[in-house]
């Protein structure tokens, strides 16, 4: 079995593949600092609680945008699962060519999403990840990462509202039935959700127009994507497991190599 671990700014998402089948998906908080022993015990406990014996894990791969967590997680996999994981970094074959002057500036999470989307859906395509940040990445028909746009995620924007203002409360992130808000809570919800929908539609339109890839498929992922994807016609597919699939694809490429 293959253990894939995506270390994001808000959450660490883990998945287990048995062959090509994703047989488990788990999520823990990134913000809580843990030692390698704590991570090791936690990962083994999560696996067992989901009916997966840790001894069945024969391979692992990690994608991380949080350097402070890398050493502890890598060490925990080696010590407790007796597996040396692949760390997605420079030198790892991803199947995606970064058409940037400095490819190292593109985060592993974006490369993984691009690889998963290109492998599964083909190109050209626009991959939108609604996570801590909302990212929009364009991949052409040959698998080249052409451009990437980064904006504050919905939770970041929401947190700024209720932390940086004296009277605005913390609200649930749901889309109100109408943009014609009549109270503070629905006013904030309308601004956050309708604002994200509008941003998504406008950025996708501009990307297609300026790149010339007017037929680019639009694939969304990320935990908050399930709020936005059903509300706009520009998103063709919401794929919750895109990141995990991308890591599985990259692992397979490097294992064969």
- Cβ contacts of 249 within 8 Å, gap of 6 or more: 95, 115, 116, 119
**Between the CA atoms of 197, 203, 205 and 208, what dihedral angle is there, to the nearest 10 degrees?**
-140
Residues 43, 183: Cα–Cα separation, whole Å: 44
Residues 215, 59: Cα–Cα separation, whole Å: 38
User: Residue 115: CA atoms inside 13 Å, Cβ hemisphere, count?
Assistant: 27
Can you read off the two tokens belonging to residue 119?
Answer: 């492998």
- The yes-or-no answer on residue 109 being catalytic is yes
Within 97-204, strands assigned E span 97-98, 125-130, 133-139, 144-152
- Which member of 6, 109, 129, 239 is catalytic? 109
Closest by CA position to 218, among listed 99, 110, 97, 117: 117
Query: Active-site residues: which are they?
Result: 109
């Amino acid at each position: 079995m293959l253990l894939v671990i995506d270390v994001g700014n808000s959450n660490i998402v883990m998945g287990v593949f048995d062959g090509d089948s994703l047989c488990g998906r788990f999520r823990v908080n990134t913000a809580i600092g843990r030692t390698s022993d704590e991570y090791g015990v936690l990962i083994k406990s999560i696996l067992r609680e989901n009916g997966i014996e840790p001894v069945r894990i024969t391979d692992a791969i990690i994608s991380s945008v949080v350097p402070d967590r890398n050493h502890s997680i890598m060490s925990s996999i080696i010590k407790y699962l007796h597996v040396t994981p692949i760390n997605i970094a420079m030198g790892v074959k991803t199947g995606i060519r970064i058409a940037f002057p400095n490819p190292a500036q593109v985060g592993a999470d974006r490369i993984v999403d691009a690889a998963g989307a290109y492998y599964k859906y083909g190109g050209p395509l626009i991959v939108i990840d609604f996570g801590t940040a909302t990212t929009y990445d364009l991949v052409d028909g040959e698998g080249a990462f052409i451009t990437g746009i980064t904006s504050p995620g919905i939770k970041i924007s929401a947190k700024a509202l209720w932390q940086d203002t004296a009277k605005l409360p913390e609200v649930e992130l749901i889309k109100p039935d109408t943009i014609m808000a009549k109270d503070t809570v629905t006013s904030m919800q309308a601004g956050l959700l309708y604002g994200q929908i509008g941003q998504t539609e406008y950025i996708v339109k501009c990307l297609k127009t300026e790149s010339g890839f007017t037929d680019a498929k639009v694939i969304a992922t990320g935990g908050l994507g399930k709020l936005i994807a059903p509300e706009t016609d520009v998103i063709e597919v919401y794929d919750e497991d895109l990141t995990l699939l991308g890591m599985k694809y990259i692992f397979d490429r490097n294992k064969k190599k």
